[in-house]
Amino acid sequence: MVWAGPPWRVSWGSASRVYDDWQHKEHLRGQLTMGPCLRPRRPSSSDTGLRSLVLTALCLGLACGVTACAPTLVGPTSTSGYFFSLQVAAPVLFLGRSGTATEVRVRVQDAQRQPVEGIPVTFEVEPGWTPYAAVSPSQVATRGGVARTVCTVRLTGVLHVTARVDNTTAQATMTVQSPPSPSAQ
């Protein structure tokens, strides 16, 4: 037997062989534990291309603020040519003992999509709901392009809130439900 030096002195060539042997053993171990169908494989160029396309689309959507429940832009309005969107902070509410409330927002923009200051926005609930729901205040001027009100509801059901800007209206839907019952233990 020939002594080659201390065991910690390993040349680059032998280190590479040790790594290759270890990698081969890990590959064989993977085949034994996962089976040939489930073992990891290197993605093909078509997989990589599709994956990068999906990731790019997802990142662009998130960066641009695109969501599945983005408010719809209404307009242009008849007299001023403004565009606006109506959004309810919580479209599904649970009714408490004294009712429930949520914020309702309208964003008003001009034709260049810039926020418009001081535009009067009128909010109202549908006539059949007036004994059970209210918006307060019912007329608000935009500040920073946004008009806000609070909708208070004292009955379960589906409620429609209407916002009017320059004789153009938009409608949002809220669902008011009974609170979930505590689970029996």
Distance between CA atoms of 113 and 138, rounded to whole angstroms? 25
| Sequence-distant (≥ 6) Cβ neighbours of residue 125 within 8 angstroms | 133, 134, 135, 151, 159, 160, 161, 162
**Average pLDDT of 174-184?**
82
Kindly state the percentage of the chain with pLDDT values over 70: 61
Tens digits of per-residue pLDDT, 123-162? 999 999 999 999 999 999 999 999 999 999 999 999 999 9
Q: How confident is the model at residue 182 (pLDDT cuts 50, 70, 90)?
A: confident
Nearest Cα neighbor of 88 from 148, 130, 155, 142 is 148
131-146 b/e (C-beta count within 10 Å ≥ 16 → b): ebbbbeeeebebeebb
Tell me which of 35 and 83 has the higher pLDDT: 83
What is the value of pTM for the model shown? 0.60
**Average pLDDT of 74-83?**
90
Q: How confident is the model at residue 128, as a pLDDT? A: 94
Distance between CA atoms of 161 and 77, rounded to whole angstroms? 19
Q: How confident is the model at residue 176, as a pLDDT? A: 95
| Sequence-distant (≥ 6) Cβ neighbours of residue 108 within 8 angstroms | 82, 83, 84, 115, 116, 119, 121, 142, 145, 146, 147, 165
Q: How confident is the model at residue 39, as a pLDDT? A: 44
Domains of the chain: 73-177 (2.60.40.1930)
| Pick from 63-67, 115-119, 128-132: least confident | 63-67
Tokens 């007299």 label which residue? 79
